[in-house]
Amino acid sequence: MSAAQQQDNTRPGGRVLADALLAQGIDTVFVVPGESYLDVLDGLYAVGNQIKTVTCRFEAGAVNMAEAYGKLTGRPAAAFVTRGPGACHASIGAHIAHQDSTPLLLFIGQIPFEETDRESFQEVDYRRMFGPLAKWVTQIDDARRIPELVAHSVDVATTGRPGPVVIALSEEMQKHAVSVPDLPRATVLQPLPDPRGIERLQALLADSRKPLAILGGSTWTPEGRAAIRTFLTGHNIPVTVGFRRQALYDGTLPNFVGDLGVGSDPALVARAKEADLILAIGTRLGEAVTQGYTLFDPAGRTPIVHVYPDPSEIGRVFRPTLGIAGDVNAFAGAAAALRPGPAPWTEWTRSLRALREAGREVPSYEGLNLAQAMRDLEELAAPDAVFTCDAGNFATWPARFINFKEDQRFIGPTNGAMGYGVPAGIGAAIAFPGRQVVVFAGDGGVLMTGQEIATAFHHGAAPILLVFNNAMYGTIRMYQERTYPGRVSGTALTNPDFARFMESFGGHGEVVAKTEEFAPAFRRAAESGKPALIELRMNPEQITSRATIGQLRAGAGVVKPERK
Ligand SMILES: Cc1ncc(C[n+]2csc(CCOP(=O)(O)OP(=O)(O)O)c2C)c(N)n1
Ligand SMILES: [Mg+2]
């Protein structure tokens, strides 16, 4: 089509929007429909299978699938929801994408523009509602501006520190026939880190005896990961990963020493405090990673090198000795070219790795031994499996006992959002058809969004769900037992038969109550080729991999609150 014809290409707003998505390289959308964006649905119909439309059961599910898709591919997927109630259900996805720095587009069908401020049916001001949750919020009231605002939204979502962009779509605007050109994708190269940073890093390393790297963040490319591995293995620097950023670094390498987040090995946390140089690369130094802001001295006595794409995040809580703003992958490339000097920390690295491996040894537990089950999973999972994780105590079992491998991926919500794991697993299966997807979820979180199993069936995704069943909101029970021992309140659960729940959708269900049952159950689940669920029937007394409820009560030692 010539440029002149393109100019003449009069289309209704809904179609312009679908074409704008295509022009920006967005080929997958996750939707729960609403009459507020019928014209966009029709635009999606018009472009046919150029855009894959995944119909979901719950807006939180839709937006979590889109978030996981963006987290795994680095390109945003779009979620479409209706105004008012749909937007409210979807808001959790904006919060996850914000805290996880994930590119995401959340489109919301809006009321007709001429009814604004009458509190008309389902009316909400999204600029106010999503102000603190999103990186940017806009509303399209003129169909001629669709290409501009969609293109800018993609740029905002994907550059610097990535994040969610919310785009409200006035209802009648979607019907207006306009002639407007599609806009091409912009190639935006990220700022390069200043080469002086590498020189200073080298000088700091030369003075160090106990360096420690923390990898995190969302902007890694495969090349960047390979380069940072070359740098860190070449210098034999011990490497941790930030909260829920497992698999950013190959856990089988002899300098991987564990994760810093919620439920980290206390021995690792203690040793991390001994480090004399912190290399925080790509990660925010947020609450979870820094163990409630206690890991380093805020006045900067431990030298910190902080490499991050957004300068406004550097020095936010901890004063760095050296801040390096810019693309972490470019930094990694430059660091990989450094010739390793003498590394007087061989013993330090070896001892941290020994700690990691000692922590992975399988203890004996009463009842189902989840440590052994996780070690079996480590053996049995596909070498390029994608793991998705919900939020809860159960997540500490895989983090402690599995060393994730180079080609595997692991994603979870760093904001601790329950209900993430199952839809994220479906998003992962849609992003990477044919790859094995394993979901870790508790009996609490799995029923927040477990109905999306129907979406998995509808779109041919086949994740394997591992449901850690302790018949309680175990994390909160753990805090309860520490703070108010024996006073169980609001945390006990009555569960369905999870295997039959999965079977009722047409999937494969298994119950594992004994340790030796896990491996064959996982094999059968993987071979079934269908969505599968394995209920892990836990000993509820074993509240974490490190403590029983009895031990928590015994160690609680807090003053009981007075009741008035
Ligand atoms: C959406 C949401 N609601 C509530 C919480 C608070 N919360 C954190 S963990 C947890 C319990 C999780 O229970 P379950 O999924 O069974 O996992 P478990 O801790 O028992 O392993 C709750 C209620 C949360 N993090 N997210
Ligand atoms: Mg539970």
pTM of the model: 0.96
Across 40-90, the runs of DSSP E, i.e. the strands, are 52-55, 78-81
Q: What is the pLDDT of residue 4?
A: 54
Q: What is the CA(470)–ligand 2 centre distance, in A?
A: 5
What digits encode the pLDDT tens for the residues 523-535? 999 999 999 999 9
Return the SS3 of 179.
strand
52 neighbors 46 (Cβ within 8 angstroms): no
- Comparing C-alpha atoms, which of 555, 523, 530 is closest to residue 463? 530
Average pLDDT over residues 236-242: 97
Cα gap 68→74, rounded to integer Å: 10
Residue whose CB lies within 8 A of the most ligand 1 atoms, among 64, 475, 536, for a mutation test: 475
Is the pLDDT reported for residue 330 higher than 60? yes
- Comparing C-alpha atoms, which of 245, 444, 389, 257 is closest to residue 328? 245
- The ligand whose atoms approach the alpha carbon of 478 most closely is 1
What digits encode the pLDDT tens for the residues 33-62? 999 999 999 999 999 999 999 999 999 999
Q: What is the pLDDT of residue 487?
A: 96
Q: What is the pLDDT of residue 342?
A: 84
The residue contributing the CA closest to ligand 1 atom 3 is: 418
- At residue 298 the predicted structure's pLDDT band, cuts being 50, 70 and 90, is confident
Torsion of CA 143, 147, 148, 151, to 10 degrees: 140
**What would the two tokens of residue 417 be?**
């959002």
Cα gap 282→560, rounded to integer Å: 42
Average pLDDT over residues 264-269: 95
Cα gap 469→73, rounded to integer Å: 31
Indicate if ligand 1 lies below 6 Å from the C-beta of 444: yes
Cα gap 370→372, rounded to integer Å: 5
Residues bordering ligand 2, an ion, CB closer than 5 Å:
442-444, 470, 474
The residue contributing the CA closest to ligand 1 atom 13 is: 473
Return the SS3 of 358.
helix
Is the pLDDT reported for residue 559 higher than 80? no
- The ligand whose atoms approach the alpha carbon of 474 most closely is 1
Question: Using CA of residue 248, residue 249, residue 251, residue 256, what is the dihedral sign?
Answer: negative
- The ligand whose atoms approach the alpha carbon of 394 most closely is 1
**What would the two tokens of residue 274 be?**
């001994």
Question: Using CA of residue 423, residue 162, residue 246, residue 526, what is the dihedral sign?
Answer: positive
Is the pLDDT reported for residue 392 higher than 90? yes
The residue contributing the CA closest to ligand 1 atom 16 is: 444
Query: Within 13 Å, how many C-alpha atoms sit on residue 229's CB side?
Result: 18
What digits encode the pLDDT tens for the residues 158-211? 999 999 999 999 999 999 999 999 999 999 999 999 999 999 999 999 999 999
Is the pLDDT reported for residue 1 higher than 50? no
Average pLDDT over residues 255-284: 96
The residue contributing the CA closest to ligand 1 atom 2 is: 418
Q: Say which DSSP state 36 is in.
A: G
Cα gap 424→387, rounded to integer Å: 9
Cα gap 21→231, rounded to integer Å: 38
What is the atom index within ligand 1 of the atom nearest the CA of 416? 25
**What would the two tokens of residue 322 be?**
């050296």
Residue with tokens 């009560």: 553
Cα gap 307→310, rounded to integer Å: 9
Q: What is the pLDDT of residue 6?
A: 53
Report the first-to-last Cα separation within the chain, whole angstroms.
77
The amino acid occupying position 192 is L
- At residue 563 the predicted structure's pLDDT band, cuts being 50, 70 and 90, is very low
Average pLDDT over residues 359-387: 97
Q: What is the CA(550)–ligand 2 centre distance, in A?
A: 17
Cα gap 369→401, rounded to integer Å: 12
Is the pLDDT reported for residue 3 higher than 80? no
Residue 278's beta-bridge partner residues? 212, 304
412 neighbors 438 (Cβ within 8 angstroms): no
Q: Assign residue 287 a region: left if phi > 0, alpha if psi is -120 to 50, beta otherwise?
A: alpha
Angle at 204 between CA 200 and CA 208, to 5 degrees: 170
Rounded mean pLDDT of the chain? 95
